[in-house]
A and B are shown apart, each in its own frame.
Chain A
Amino acid sequence: MPIDDRQPSRIWDESSIHDIQEKARLGRYRIRAFSTSRALPTLEDLTFIPSGLTRVPLEGYRETCSTEITLGGRFAGKPLKLKTPITIAGMSYGALSRNAKEALGLGASAAGTSTCTGDGGMHPTDREYSQTLVYQCLPSRYGFNPHDVMRADAIEIVVGQGAKPGTGGLLLGQKVSPEIAGMRDLPDGVDQRSPCRHPDWMGPEDLAIKIEELREATDWQKPIYVKLGAARVYEDVKLAAKAGADCVVVDGMEGGTAASPDVLLDHTGIPTLAAICEAARALEDMGLTGEVQLIACGGIKSGVDAAKALALGADAVAIGTAAIIALNCNAPLWLEDYEAMGTRAGACHHCHTGRCPVGVATQDPELVKRLNVQEAAERVENFLHAMTLEMQIMARACGKSHVGNLDRDDLRALTLESALVTGIPLAGMRQPLVPQHVASLMGAL
């Protein structure tokens, strides 16, 4: 093969060379934020097949299409009643600034949906600014206490997260301010590496007892979620449901984080598209569809993504990265500060540095001031509203008077890969692909 002296090797490309040289400099794995950068099969690979002669659509801009949802009614005396099935995922005060957390609370409350504390405990303003607040019970138990359990509207036991299933959280010392350290009972400035195993239970049988403890402590009033990083989804969802969860949250590998070893972001877990299908099938096989509710998250960017998630079997979705982008993450402001970190607006994944130019993922008081809480809250509310309208448009086009009525028959796959992952018929086909089809196709190739 002729050699082009100016052309990088396909094996040792510029990215691989940079990666090796960075690790040679650091002496450890690389750390970054945001989410995986891999190309994955996603919800984008599906399309809706709206009504025609076989089904009657609803008037797209007029007829009622409900979005309300009740979450956690399996065992909880006070399930959550939300105006939209789009919720805000757990993101900690620590990973995010106080202004960011307050804006998320205000924006979500205005849109009639829930927020989630994330790791590190419940800051007083979490409760004050969020009308409906889910309180995370993580392996770290940073800041966790019974008084806040009582103040919460629901409790989410975190087994894992999509960005790094099987590994605990990470908050580098530059973001462990005295207040963050105080809330978490940690020394100031420590590189906080959270545990991945819960301190007081190990397996699913123990989890059932842990869930009972939380139910007893809250007099069986609060919904209890179990959040899983998407890995062995079918089995894990079954075990969580059997353990007594009201809702199972499944976070695909597109899930975001404010800091993670990059190898975990790119090489662990399965995509959200696959995870939703496995989770829905698990609940269906247990006869628990609708009774144990499925909340899907990980890379959901729009109301169309959310509508597709519901059509595949989710009851609700949670957004994290999309919500902070609505706050101003990666906005083209303070451009020189992006450049100083070696990045640019639109490509920044530097939350772990604590130098967020737009005041979202930082604890630097001067940077935090750049995020106006009221304006950011309005953007979050607007974005949630826009997503909800997009869901309604899709549902109406498919002839559904509630977004929750969307189902798999409303979808077709646009790629062979997504058809195989989801079991949704490939566009142009009326039946799902089965192994014989694949064998036949492979033979034809």
Chain B
Amino acid sequence: MGAGLTSFDCNTHTTREINSWLRQHSDASVLGETLSVVLLNPDSRHNLGVGLVKPLKILIEGPVGYYCAGLCDGIEVEIAGGAGWGLAENLMGGKVVLHGSAGSAAGATMRGGLVVIHGDAGARCGVAMKGGTLLVTGDVGVMSSFMMQKGALIIGGDADHALGDSLYEGKIYLRGEAASLGADARIAELNANDVAFLSGTFLQAGVDFSPDDFKKVESARRLYNFDTKEKEIWKQAL
């Protein structure tokens, strides 16, 4: 993986030096000629590849810590290992692929782009998403997609309790079962647009799923505005 590409050994550098090196390469990338680089020995270091807003392809050969590829736009990151909390948080655009499992809050508040986790994701994955697509091939933890506003979470496995609590206009596509749905979430049938979206995303992500195996979770929109006639819902709502 990444043979022949420009590489940087995390073992012998500070986080600031690693990110400065990435930023230099990101700045050097020009439209149509995105540079590719490799990070070696990440050793679960936090905050690798954060705040990059110009194109760059990064291969990370090992596990990463918190917030890898956070606060980025237009980058492509592939990680050969697991990730800590907040993988690709607030991603604006681009693609992040994880070959391993992610800790809590993967894809939190992301606003664009595609994040693919070839494994499981912890609690609150896709929390407060505002756009983009988060695809988890395995299971997801409790309260995933809490207060998700826009975008899509695709779950290849099962979901723990309170899936989709307090959803707004985001969509969840679930292949397995949810231990429970969160406040104001409901199961809905897929429509033609959903099927087309899922098919295209599976193709882009290179995963072998069929849209026919998925159901949709969406907001029932009963929490959008205060209503004195819905007292029981408001007692449960967060």
Contact = CB atoms under 8 A, between A and B. Distances in A.
Interface of A: 26-28, 140-141, 144-147, 149-150, 173, 184-187, 189-191, 195, 199-201, 206, 209-210, 212-214, 216-220
A217 B228 contact: no
A219 B130 CA distance: 26
Contacts of B109: 141, 144, 199-200
Contact of B105 (A149, A195, A199): A199
Given A185-B130, A185-B131, A146 B71 contact: yes
A408 B65 CA distance: 45
Contacts of B238: 195
Contact of A191 (B15, B131, B225): B225
A166 B215 CA distance: 36
Given A185-B131, A187-B168, A199-B128, A149 B228 contact: no
Contacts of B108: 199-200
A226 B75 CA distance: 29
What secondary structure prevails in chain A residues at the interface with B?
A: loop
B222 to A, nearest CB: 12
B77 to A, nearest CB: 14
Given A145-B73, A200-B85, A213-B71, 11 more contacts: A147-B73, A149-B71, A185-B149, A187-B224, A190-B225, A191-B225, A191-B226, A199-B109, A209-B47, A209-B65, A213-B70
Interface string B69-98: 011110000000000011001101000000
B168 A190 contact: yes
Contacts of B131: 185
Top 9 closest pairs, chain A to chain B, by CB? A217-B51, A27-B228, A200-B86, A185-B130, A146-B71, A199-B108, A200-B108, A141-B109, A200-B105
B224 A190 contact: yes
8 contacts: A144-B109, A146-B53, A186-B168, A195-B146, A199-B89, A199-B146, A201-B105, A216-B51
Nearest to A142: B130
Contact of A218 (B20, B51, B90, B111): B51
What secondary structure prevails in chain B residues at the interface with A?
A: loop
B25 interface: no
Given A213-B67, A216-B16, A219-B23, A147 B105 contact: no
Contacts of A147: 53, 73, 92
B111 A185 contact: yes
A144 B225 CA distance: 24
B231 A27 contact: yes
Q: Which of A28, A146, A201, A212 has most B Cβ within 10 Å?
A: A146
B132 to A, nearest CB: 11
Contact of A212 (B46, B124, B149): B46
A216 B169 CA distance: 32
Given A28-B226, A213-B66, A217-B50, A141 B90 contact: yes
A199 B127 contact: yes
A145 B15 CA distance: 22
B225 A173 contact: yes
B147 interface: yes
